[in-house]
A = this chain, B = another copy of it.
Amino acid sequence: MAVQKPSVPSGTRDYSPDVMVRRNYIFHTIENIFRLYGYQPVETPAMEYLSTLMGKYGEEGDKLLYRILNSGNFLAAAGNLDIQSEDPVRLSGLFCEKGLRYDLTVPFARYVVQHRNEITFPFRRYQIQPVWRADRPQKGRYREFYQCDVDIVGSNSLLNERELIEIIIEIFSRLNIACLIRINNRKVLAGIAAYIGEADKLTHITASMDKLGKAGQEQVVAELMERGIGRDALRKLEPLFSLHGDNRSKVEHLERLLSGSITGRQGIAEMKQLLDLIDGLGQPGQVEFDVRLARGLNYYTGTIIEVLSKNENIGSVCGGGRYDDLTGIFGMPGLSGVGVSFGADRIYDVMNRLDLFPPAAVSSTQLLFVNFGIKEQKYMNALAPSMRKEGIITELYPDEAKLKKQLAYANSKGIPFVAIVGEEERNKGKITLKEMTSGEQKQLTLEQVIEHINSWKKKF
Question: Within A143-170, which residues are at the interface with B (CB < 8 Å)?
Answer: 143-144, 152, 155-157, 159-160, 162-163, 166
Tell me whether A44 and B8 are in contact (CB under 8 A). Answer: yes
Tell me whether B9 and A71 are in contact (CB under 8 A). Answer: no
Q: Which chain B residue has the least Cβ–Cβ distance from A389?
A: B36
Q: Does A113 contact B (CB under 8 A)?
A: yes
Residue interface bits A96-133, CB-to-B below 8 A is 1, else 0: 11101000000000110111001010101100001010
Stretch in contact with the other chain, from A11-19, A188-196, A224-232, A308-316: A11-19
Q: Does A21 contact B (CB under 8 A)?
A: yes
Q: Does A92 contact B (CB under 8 A)?
A: yes
Q: Does A236 contact B (CB under 8 A)?
A: no
Residue interface bits A431-451, CB-to-B below 8 A is 1, else 0: 000000000000000000000
Q: Which chain B residue has the least Cβ–Cβ distance from A410?
A: B120
Tell me whether B115 and A16 are in contact (CB under 8 A). Answer: yes
User: What is the distance, in angstroms, from A44's C-beta to the closest C-beta of chain B?
Assistant: 5
Chain B residues positioned under 8 Å from A49 (CB to CB)? 7-9
Whole-angstrom CA separation of A58 from B384 in the bound complex: 41
Whole-angstrom CA separation of A413 from B134 in the bound complex: 39
Residue interface bits A35-61, CB-to-B below 8 A is 1, else 0: 111101111111111011001000000
**Knowing A36-B388, A44-B8, A132-B46 touch, does A159 contact B398 (C-beta < 8 A)?**
yes
Whole-angstrom CA separation of A115 from B63 in the bound complex: 33
Q: Which chain B residue has the least Cβ–Cβ distance from A15?
A: B43
Tell me whether A46 and B144 are in contact (CB under 8 A). Answer: yes
Whole-angstrom CA separation of A230 from B63 in the bound complex: 61
Chain B residues positioned under 8 Å from A391 (CB to CB)? 36
User: What is the distance, in angstroms, from A185's C-beta to the closest C-beta of chain B?
Assistant: 18
Choice from B73, B120, B157 contacting A88 with Cβ under 8 Å: B73
Choice from B9, B47, B72, B125 contacting A48 with Cβ under 8 Å: B9
Whole-angstrom CA separation of A69 from B68 in the bound complex: 6
Tell me whether B399 and A122 are in contact (CB under 8 A). Answer: yes
Chain B residues positioned under 8 Å from A351 (CB to CB)? none
Most B CB contacts (10 A, CB to CB) among A40, A143, A377 go to A40
Chain B residues positioned under 8 Å from A393 (CB to CB)? 35-38
Q: Does A66 contact B (CB under 8 A)?
A: yes
Tell me whether B88 and A75 are in contact (CB under 8 A). Answer: yes
Q: Does A330 contact B (CB under 8 A)?
A: yes
Q: Does A140 contact B (CB under 8 A)?
A: no
Tell me whether A91 and B67 are in contact (CB under 8 A). Answer: no
Whole-angstrom CA separation of A157 from B376 in the bound complex: 14
Chain B residues positioned under 8 Å from A71 (CB to CB)? 63, 66, 134
Q: Does A383 contact B (CB under 8 A)?
A: no
**Knowing A84-B83, A120-B412 touch, does A46 contact B43 (C-beta < 8 A)?**
no
Q: Does A1 contact B (CB under 8 A)?
A: yes
Q: Does A24 contact B (CB under 8 A)?
A: yes
User: What is the distance, in angstroms, from A11's C-beta to the closest C-beta of chain B?
Assistant: 9
Q: Does A138 contact B (CB under 8 A)?
A: no
Chain B residues positioned under 8 Å from A163 (CB to CB)? 396, 398
Choice from B47, B73, B388 contacting A37 with Cβ under 8 Å: B388
Q: Does A329 contact B (CB under 8 A)?
A: yes
Most B CB contacts (10 A, CB to CB) among A35, A84, A155, A413 go to A84
Choice from B5, B20, B399 contacting A331 with Cβ under 8 Å: B5
Whole-angstrom CA separation of A75 from B75 in the bound complex: 12
Q: Which chain B residue has the least Cβ–Cβ distance from A18?
A: B40
Tell me whether B124 and A395 are in contact (CB under 8 A). Answer: yes
Chain B residues positioned under 8 Å from A208 (CB to CB)? none
Q: Which 3 A-B pairs have the closest CB atoms?
A: A38-B395, A17-B40, A12-B45
A-B contact pairs, 11 of them (CB 8 A): A6-B111, A12-B47, A15-B41, A16-B42, A24-B41, A40-B364, A122-B398, A124-B395, A152-B398, A159-B377, A160-B398
Beyond contacts A6-B330, A8-B114, A38-B393: 16 other A-B pairs, Cβ-Cβ < 8 A, are A14-B45, A14-B115, A20-B41, A20-B42, A20-B43, A38-B365, A38-B394, A47-B144, A63-B71, A67-B69, A68-B69, A69-B96, A73-B88, A122-B409, A159-B396, A159-B399
